[in-house]
Structure 1
Amino acid sequence: MRDNPPLYVAFVWHMHQPYYKDPLNGYYRLPWVRLHGTKDYLDMAEILKDFPSVRQNFNFVPSLLEQLVDYSEGTAKDLYLEVSRKRAKELSEDDKIFILENFFLAHWDNMIKPFPRYYELLVKRGTHLITSDLARAIKYFSEGDFLDLQVFFNLCWIDPLFREKDPFLRMLSEKGHSFTEEEKVLLLEKQLAIVGRIIPTYREMASRGQIELSFSPFYHPILPLLCDTDTSRVAMPNVRLPRQRFVHPEDADAQMRMGIEYFEKVFGFRPGGMWPSEGSVSEEVVKLAARHGVRWLATDEGILSNSLDRRIRDNSGNLTEPDLLYKVYSYEGVSIAFRDHVMSDLLGFVYSQWEPRTAAGDLIGRLRSIGNSVRSGEPRMVSIILDGENAWEHYKNDGRDFFLYLYEGLSREERIRTTTISGFINEFGAGNRLERVFPGSWINSNFGIWLGHEEDNLAWDYLSDTRDRLQEIQRQNPSLDTTNAWKALYVAEGSDWNWWYGDEHSTETQQDFDELFRFNLMKVYKEVGNDVPAQLFVPILRHDRGVSPTLMIRGFIKPRIDGLVTSYYEWYQGAQLDVKKSGGSMHKSESLIVTVYYGFNADSLFLRIDPKIPFAEFEEDTEFLVVTSRPADIRISYPIKGEGKMAELYEKTKDEWKKVKDISEVAAVDVFEIGITFADLKAREKDEINLFISVRKGGEEIERCPWRGHISVLVPTEDFEAMMWY
């Protein structure tokens, strides 16, 4: 046994966050790059400095690096940071609601409870969040409560290592309550200073050779699906595919090329290796990597099993073929490492519940067993690959105790050596030749997370339609600068949006992910001067699509269309929608619209809009638009100011809006009222009409109602009124 070479272990920590920047206003919608920056990215490297013999691999997604640079240079606009910076006495009612809703987004046991005052405020708000109760709840929180919350939320996301080493942060933690505005300002400065140290620290450690840095394609797309969505049928023969097949290997190539170029710009050298997003590979992806000079990539053991057509674990999950798994393979000149799925998941999901010393000992014991089980002679490498940030909040002390026991134990092991993947390849060669590469990801060896569900497929269809339109416009106008449009499209190709579509995963911020995906597609149209398709304003998330009115339709109405509230009863049987409760305006600013009423009789749909300010105070170039996306694309525009105006009805055919007619049954005096026949809307009995109202100024949309989803109206049958009476 002593003749055996040592067992090599390659830890790969994948550092990734979605691209959170809102393309329509430039704000980061979610704070996780900044907060994981202060809690996870830097300390993962800092802990290693005390263990120089321990080698590690860190994989950075370029879109994460871009966001870290943005924060480091002080140019990032972050909604959560701006609310944190506001003086507590200047917080608006909306700011306070935002704080109570979002400033407890942390692991309660490991990040909130260690601060007794923080947990006290959580209990005061209520551990079961009911959003509709927050407006009432803020009345019970004092100015001091909100100031403490601003401090705690940002303090708890700073790693305990830094809170312990920094005298000011240690003082804040020990003080524990009644913070001052000056302390808050200094805390936020410390926070951004930590973020600014991340990239220089990794650059320096890579130059010393203790760590290897690798990359992922720029915006973290599922590369095999960019190459061809039909690839999913290899692992899932019966999968439901999107309406339109997506076949754009040139996008996969671009995402890889941009990733390498940006990595080199940030770190000063080209990466040798790549973790393809979610470990997603196919033969075409490996060939692309070879063309870009990528020496190695990594994926999951399930891909190896399917590529070899051999089971490497039994039904109980026990490894039956260690000699197959624990080595490097080669395909088209690219070395491929296959992660030990079980041990990677133990670190990601199980060891956090164990006592740290026991967990570290268990992992080292498993590695010893592997070293004893493989045949002698050939060097073996165990690949343990997982997220480098998301697991540690589930560990006590942010995982630091576990890592100290693990690294100390590994440093003492004579028969186990940690390695970089490039270091292993340089010493022992590119690996055994692999005849084929099965297309799949680290999850179930398929692409089911990102394709197949109704929501997933709808997202792919929107992506295909947008890309086709962008390419068509570029062909028609070769001199048009489409740089920003392509960037927005590449962002929309990222894997993170579809991660939250479907039924597999859920999060408190699902709506943000849905909007960010659709906003990037909207950005493409805006950049090339095209109208944004109406469907992009409707959530892909099924439960968010329709907006329920405050009051439902209860019978036929026939209001007098004169722009006046002639009688309370003329709209009494119609539906009423409170704009604020339906999501407000596009940019969450003060709305111009207060309430929308709608209803119908057997022949026509009626709409009424109550403005917040008199129409006389609206600016000259303001107009209302009523837009339907079902059963037909119809747009009705009406300029608010001017005498004797009529509304204009347009219908979209192919990609052009053509005027069909004028509508005279429209008026805006105290309120806006309009009557539109169902025939003009191309709607028949029992058809569902989906519509929204848009306010535009100078051709730019400044408000939409409802912001999320649409108003849904079912065209009545002849006996509707009799049925409602009954």
Structure 2
Amino acid sequence: MSDKKLLLNLYWHMHQPDYRDLVTGEFVLPWTYLHALKDYSDMAFHLEQNPNARVTFNFVPILVEQLEDYAEQSRSGQWRDPLLRLLANPNLENITDEECRLIVDSCFKAHHEKMLSPFPHYQRLLKLYELVAPIMQNGQFHYLSAQYKADLLVWYHLAWTGESLRRKNKTVQTLMQKGVLFTLEDRQALLDVISETLQGILPRYQALLKKGRIEMTTTPYYHPILPLLIDLESARDAMPDAPLPQSATYPDGYPRAIAHVQAAQRYHEKIFGQPANGMWPAEGAVSHPALSLLAEQGVAWAATGQGVLANSLRKLGLPHDTPSQYLYQPYKITNGQQDIVCFFRDDHLSDKIGFEYSKQYASEAVHDFIQSLEHILANSEETPVVSVILDGENAWEYYPYNGYYFLHELYQALAQHPDIQMTTFSDILALQQKQALPAPRLLDDICAGSWVYGTFSTWIGEPAKNRAWDLLCEAKRHYDQQIHQLSAEQKQKCQQQLALCEGSDWFWWFGDYNSAQSVQSFDQLYRRNLSNLYKLLGLTAPAHLLQPISLGGGDAENAGTMRRGNA
């Protein structure tokens, strides 16, 4: 390139596990549609409002599948999500105790400082609940009136609307101004907004992609940790002394990994009209066999964490003391036949967005981010390629106004900066092919790990996590014994259920460092999913699946929804 610039890859990862009970078809947890209202909507909005910004989005297939499901529910009006069904219920007087419990258990689940405290009417509902909670514990859920429940349902959904909806949508503005005594007509109007938003999410990203404004990538279908599916022992590459599950290996893990990758590629092309050039392996989890698998499946590039690169360079005896020595360039990994280019996350900058900038004024945070990039550029001999990669949905509830001012000012400052070019990962590959950038550096080996600490410690190596793996391995052995006896339709349902159980999220939540409430809901859903697999196989689920795997009880930063790249 004629003038040295810093090339910035901003990469927003969007993911929710499958919250459906595949036996009943019911949604068990509401997080997919709530994040659609708040985060997937707002993140599209910021790109629509800043035509010179350029970023990459990663949408996990099972998230996209659920978004499609919700869009179809909204078109038919047949809600299979219990909270949305209650919001639509014309008569809240006669709902069951279980439905009453669902309302009061669910409708205060939001970051109170940023999503509840700003709204006096919502605060009042919380204070009323706290006054009568002792009575509620005795099962007298109807002590709270139907009007209270209607107001709580409305405010919960209003609190989960994105800032773009609050600024643009007249219905949302009217309901927030009204504040109390919401009628059935009010609830129906809010449902119309929710329906319109859910139906519009994927078309908005499809339009941005078609205009060339963004790159879209995918992840193995149900978000499994590929290296651990392939080889549980790979955890010891970065954690030599880690205790592992009793099961020595996950049965037929390599073909299972291939199935997730191939299914993701097919589904992504179906939804977005073009294949994904790159992939964010679930949790940025890589190993040499996993990257070789991706290369063999036609994936041109992948991304992972800075810790993985530092561990790999340490393993190879190469310099890794300061990021300026090694971080700001892509690397090529080869198995001798196929190559894949790997990009590595700048943990410091990514974690600043995820954890630090929410505590600062937007202008101060953006200034600090720009200064950090300028410092990298000033200390680089060649064109630095900086990859900032993080969760694109959970960070914003800790920001004022859902990160509205931060993202607006960030995109504006980056797009206007004379020495910073917003790019995508495929842009970098194209520049290298044109020889406008140096070829990626060869990395002879890679230390297996993830974007969190460069290890797999978030998913294996702790008693509850290992227990969860043993339960999955046990279920997989039963699956292998039974699957050949089933009809084609039964096989398809069992394969889907197994894939769901292989996702990374269940293992993420097990451990005492996460809150008891969050651990309980994911623990129950994981055991329910394993039990459903046995049921679909025509077997009786083991009695030990009735026992909790983990109790939690900690207070992880940002409610456990995100982790820092470095401990």
Q: TM-score scaled by structure 1? A: 0.71
Q: Which residue does the alignment assign to 1:27?
A: 26
Query: Structure 1 residues 155 and 213 mapped into 2: Cα distance closer, same or farther (>3 Å)?
Result: same
Does the 8 Å CA contact 1:466/1:521 hold for their aligned counterparts?
yes
Q: Which residue does the alignment assign to 2:560?
A: none
Query: Does residue 227 of structure 1 match 2:230?
Result: yes
Does the 8 Å CA contact 1:327/1:382 hold for their aligned counterparts?
yes
Deviation for aligned residue 1:526: 1.8
Which runs of structure 2 are paired with 1:40-119 in the superposition (5 Å)? 40-74=39-73, 77-86=80-89, 87-119=91-123
CA distance in 1, matches of 2:163, 2:175: 12
CA distance in 2, matches of 1:312, 1:347: 27
Q: Deviations over 1:476-504 (max 9, x none)?
A: 66978411111111110101011111223
Deviation for aligned residue 1:524: 2.2
Which runs of structure 2 are paired with 1:587-606 in the superposition (5 Å)? none
- Out of 306, 323, 326, the position equivalent to 1:324 is 326
Does the 8 Å CA contact 1:101/1:134 hold for their aligned counterparts?
no
Query: Does residue 399 of structure 1 match 2:403?
Result: yes
Deviation for aligned residue 1:379: 2.4
Q: Which residue does the alignment assign to 1:666?
A: none
- Out of 263, 266, 272, the position equivalent to 1:267 is 272
- The amino acid that maps onto 1:541 is S
Query: Structure 1 residues 128 and 447 mapped into 2: Cα distance closer, same or farther (>3 Å)?
Result: farther
CA distance in 2, matches of 1:106, 1:171: 22
- The amino acid that maps onto 2:88 is R
Structure with the larger RCO, 1 or 2 (CA within 8 Å, 6+ apart): 2
Q: Which residue does the alignment assign to 1:541?
A: 550
Query: Structure 1 residues 129 and 327 mapped into 2: Cα distance closer, same or farther (>3 Å)?
Result: farther
> Which blocks of at least 5 consecutive residues in structure 2 are unaligned?
434-438, 554-567
Query: Please, which moves more after superposition, 494-503 or 343-352?
Result: 494-503
Q: Which residue does the alignment assign to 1:142?
A: 145
Q: Which residue does the alignment assign to 2:370?
A: 364
Does the 8 Å CA contact 1:101/1:131 hold for their aligned counterparts?
no
Does the 8 Å CA contact 1:449/1:504 hold for their aligned counterparts?
no
Query: Does residue 346 of structure 1 match 2:347?
Result: no
Query: Structure 1 residues 42 and 271 mapped into 2: Cα distance closer, same or farther (>3 Å)?
Result: same
Q: Deviations over 1:590-633 (max 9, x none)?
A: xxxxxxxxxxxxxxxxxxxxxxxxxxxxxxxxxxxxxxxxxxxx
CA distance in 2, matches of 1:264, 1:103: 36
CA distance in 2, matches of 1:349, 1:478: 49
Q: Deviations over 1:335-375 (max 9, x none)?
A: 11000001100000111011111111111111111111101
- Out of 301, 304, 309, the position equivalent to 1:304 is 309
Q: Which residue does the alignment assign to 1:387?
A: 391
> Which blocks of at least 5 consecutive residues in structure 1 are unaligned?
315-319, 545-726
Q: Which residue does the alignment assign to 1:514?
A: 523
Does the 8 Å CA contact 2:291/2:340 hold for their aligned counterparts?
yes
Query: Structure 1 residues 498 and 362 mapped into 2: Cα distance closer, same or farther (>3 Å)?
Result: same
Q: Which has the higher strand share?
A: 1
Does the 8 Å CA contact 1:160/1:398 hold for their aligned counterparts?
yes
- Matched pairs, number: 535
Does the 8 Å CA contact 1:312/1:322 hold for their aligned counterparts?
no
- Out of 210, 215, 221, the position equivalent to 1:207 is 210
Q: Which residue does the alignment assign to 1:474?
A: 483
- The amino acid that maps onto 1:249 is Y
Query: Structure 1 residues 471 and 94 mapped into 2: Cα distance closer, same or farther (>3 Å)?
Result: closer
CA distance in 2, matches of 1:406, 1:235: 35
Q: Which has the higher helix share?
A: 2
Q: CA RMSD in A?
A: 2.2
Which runs of structure 2 are paired with 1:157-556 in the superposition (5 Å)? 157-247=160-250, 248-309=253-314, 320-332=322-334, 333-375=339-381, 378-429=382-433, 431-475=440-484, 481-506=490-515, 508-541=517-550
Query: Please, which moves more after superposition, 197-206 or 89-98?
Result: 89-98
What is the percent sequence identity of the aligned residues? 36
Q: What SS does the aligned partner of 2:404 have?
A: helix
Q: TM-score scaled by structure 2? A: 0.90
- The amino acid that maps onto 2:306 is E
- The amino acid that maps onto 2:151 is D
- The amino acid that maps onto 2:68 is V
Q: What SS does the aligned partner of 1:27 have?
A: coil
Does the 8 Å CA contact 1:499/1:505 hold for their aligned counterparts?
no
Q: What SS does the aligned partner of 2:215 have?
A: strand
Deviation for aligned residue 1:84: 2.3
CA distance in 1, matches of 2:273, 2:187: 36
